[in-house]
Structure 1
Amino acid sequence: MNSLQINYWLKQHWKLLVGVFFGILILGTIIFQIVYPNSRMLPNANVDGVSLGWMKRTDAAKKLDDLYGEQTLKIYFGKNEAAFQAPKMSEMGIAVSNEARLAAISYPFYLRIIPGSFLWAGTAPKEDDMEYVYDKKKIETYTQSKVGDGCSIEPRDATLKVVESQLQLVPSAPGGECDITQFQQALAQVKPSSDSEKNKVTISIVEKPAAVDDDRARELATTLNNRLKEPMNIAVDKETDTIPGRIVMGWLDFKSDIPPESLKDSDIKAKLAFSVNKDRMKVYVDTNIAAKLIKEPGVSKVSTLDFKETSRVNGAGGREVDMDAALASVEAYINNKTSTAVAATRDVGPTMQYTRTYTPTSNGMAALLAQFAQDNPGTYGLAFTELSGVRNLRQASFNADTPFKSAGAESLYIAYAALMEQRTGVIRTVDTIAGNRNYTDCLKALVQRSDESCRTGFYQVMGHKTTTARGAELGLKSTIFAGKDTTTSTNDLHKVVTGFAKNQIARVEGGQQLLSYMEADQDNGGIGKGVTKGRVAHMVGESGTFHNDSSVVYSTDKGNYVLTVLSDGSSWEKITDLTKKIQALRQQKMGPNDR
């Protein structure tokens, strides 16, 4: 059959072809509908506004359950028009189960043989068919956490807020007391709805009125709106600027001013008071006014030798905004006590720039420690003791008796106590101290890593009394053992590390073993990183802003020394810098009479 014959046949039989096509389509659709699994939702299924088409019924039910759990419940007390809270249903233990509800959606055989019925069959179930589930324990926990066992709700005083260019009332709300059991029962009767407006519950209370009522707040709003309806004049140096009233309103904070209980029967009543928020005002001043007032200070250059000033070139003073005085002036303007606010200023001294030099003496070392603490951020306790390398050994300290959080550095004290208790037989080497670690394992971990679990383990085995007594043997004067809150001083830690370095502590019992553990610690930040020639045995502690390091430095060119740094608000990098300065000072040659 050629193409002409085919075209002729198609023209004669096109209706037949169309009928066959639609017949196949209808038959295919019916077959698809007959075999469509009951375990899945129909393609166009929509329940409570949620599209569930093609999903397994179990997955669809879970999706609906989760969405209902995300719905919020507005909780009202008494006649309050504002909700006390609007937590999620799931947070309170209120839930739904849609499994049986969706299982009830049927697609019977008679509908399956109707072509295209899969697009519209399946009546959406009503919300009332849901199963409601209540976790009473969770409801109880929620109510007690929010209102306590006494079901007490604090009143909310009236206040003000800025709306466009006006201060408007935020109404007061009474508080009071409710029946906690009734509260819990009411929550256990809530039926979550897909309509958020229906998700609310009201709990009756014995009302207690707010201290500051709406009338008091309106009075203040009227006064402030009248005062700030025009821009505020503010003197800026020799000029007068203006600040829009709505900007000034944005600086205001409001607080209830409630007279003391002793005056409750007097004529003095609670009122709403305002104050100017310094931070918000400062943002505006820094952006719009400060540049007209600030004068950058100069630099004073000062040279020192040890503690003595050897030269000074004074720089010019500067000027900055005095925010406290400016704020007081703005408040005076708002209170109608002055017609113009003042952007007050104050003089500031020049920036100090020091050129420090030191003599290679104990006095020079003391000056280095004190001035390092002065010139760097943080608080320090510092101590230095020279052990060898020069004829007249030097030592110096700064703020060395001040207690600091030990931050784990007390591990050395506890290691000493454990060592002594083991040598007297109170602790055996096979005794388990922490987890599956014995005495030997924990002693090493304690000194090398300030291991907290081992520190706690030894402390529990020995007890506070024994630990404190062993500390007294070491000569600790400013140390208080209190777990994570243990404090110590630079002098205490420095004395102990120096004693181990001189082999004066636990000479027979194995004190040098602890020193070898300190040297085996490979964490060479802090003091260790500042030592370029030699090796370090150190005891460190770190917690939050506290960085502590006490080290024996075995220098290969200038002899050995002990350096101890306790600090709050410093860093390991700063401790490294101090070490480098001490190393540099020790490189200077000492005179025969230098000490």
Structure 2
Amino acid sequence: MARGYSHNRTIYNQKRRRRLLSWIQHNYRLSLWGAVGVVAIILSTLQVVVMADRMPLFFVMDGQPVGGQSVAHVSSYLDNKYRQAAIILQAKGSQQQLASIQADALGVTASNRQRAEQAVTPLWLRMVPTSALWARWLTPTTRPQYHVDTAQLSRYVTDTFGEDCKIQPQNASLRVDGHKLVVVPSKQGAECQTSDLTKALGAARPSIQQPVRVTLPASPLQPSVSDTQAEELKRTIEQRAQGTLVVRAPAGERQVTIPAHTVLGWLRFATPKDSIEVTLDSAASEEFLRTQVAPLIGAGASGRSRQAQLDYSATRQAVVDYVTGRSDTIRAAVQSSRSTQPSTTAGSDEKLSALLKQYTEGKKGSFGIALTELSGKRRHAEYNGTKQFTSASTYKLLLAFSVLKRIEAGQMAWGDQTEGGRDLAKCFDDMIVLSDNPCPTAIAKRVGISNIQKDMVSLGLNDTNFRDMQSYKMTAGDLAKFAAMLANYQLPLKRESQDKLLGAMRRNVHRRGIPAGSNGTVADKVGFIEDYLHDVGIVYGTGGGTYVLAILTQGSSWADIADLTKRIEQLHTQQ
């Protein structure tokens, strides 16, 4: 009975399908339009509901593909891009760049919320089938709403360019890249009125498609060392430093040779005044001079010890005189037996420490200061050297070490996308040269605060604290110690990694602290937030040799930092 019922049911379903197919065959046009209508209703419903707060498909705003993304996401993304947009400052009548400034550093921001909402396809258009595919061509394009924080803008102009609104020119110089010399081009400076500069920068409207150029009414300041002068010195050194250099004993025929590429690695260049000053790095050259050159003087003809030793400073100068074309031979220099070989460690100096303490007495604000001489007497002095300050942007110097360490370990790569479309190489440069903020925030998050802290402990920077999430804590003593290790190539990094960081520090655009008070060439990193002003620098090319200086302050001024640098340098050169 059940089997018969099932059989009849199957026959009935087959007949129904045949009748349906027959109806469709005779009424296929009506069927087709019906199917199209159903699809249209589904698409329209989806467009009305899903695209209610989203950009049209394939929509592009300010060169950024934002199709199908929500209003909240697009406005947040574009706001961030505008904060990072570059504003190029140039003097009137010149195409040369005076400075490149991020919009958010000036307090110039852009709101894209309203224009993102206006780009949403209206309801009546979303009800039209397939409009999601072509509505972008009917979408109006508008500009963002700009806002200028005048207080932040004025503070930036004063902190960066000073009350006298002077952008110092940069002299041409040389640097060593691997085994070759490279000219560092000069840059024109300018003198202007603070009000003119503030007005020009406040009127700038950043773009994320290309840097905006702001022309400043200013008088140009020409560098005192031109690119041509640097090129001439480069040719002279290259002609002299070929193959091997011969260092001869003060008398007799004894001699040693130095590979030319080794000497190039020792060369340091500074432009304190109107010429390029060439010196040999004391720490880099000391071992070779001690092990290879000093024995030229160590024994006389009788085999007994002479009452004479190598004059390291004069011998280095002899090498410099040869490679720069001022002499035709290199002879080791002798000093009296009362002099001793330079120590490799810095000793405490009460006179310098007293000066640091005396300077801060009666001055507005609090100070933490540390000085270390890397050549000559190799003195060391501190005042509140272990006092912790909010780090401001000086922490970026230590973060750079963590980055370089992971680059060498293969855990990070320079091409890694890091923040706002910038790769790690660009971010590394921006956070040191421009003191950019979004990049180091993203990098620190990737590296991990606990790992950065471990890196600092491994370097012996025990008073540095990255664990305080409200504000990282630094001391002048730790920063000076780090800078000294960097200057002496004693960080546990490859030399080229340390050169990369030093090169970025030399191009730091904030120059109102230590660089303003020194006659040498300064590689430094500043920090400024609220009432904290800090600077830590390596100073090359002074009469007393290279030294490291870290000055951390709260409630002080850039003028005080510059003046303290000047006074310390005067005492430093009196060796």
Could you tell me the TM-score, scaled by structure 1's length? 0.44
Greater C-alpha radius of gyration: 1
Larger RCO (CA within 8 A; separation ≥ 6): 2
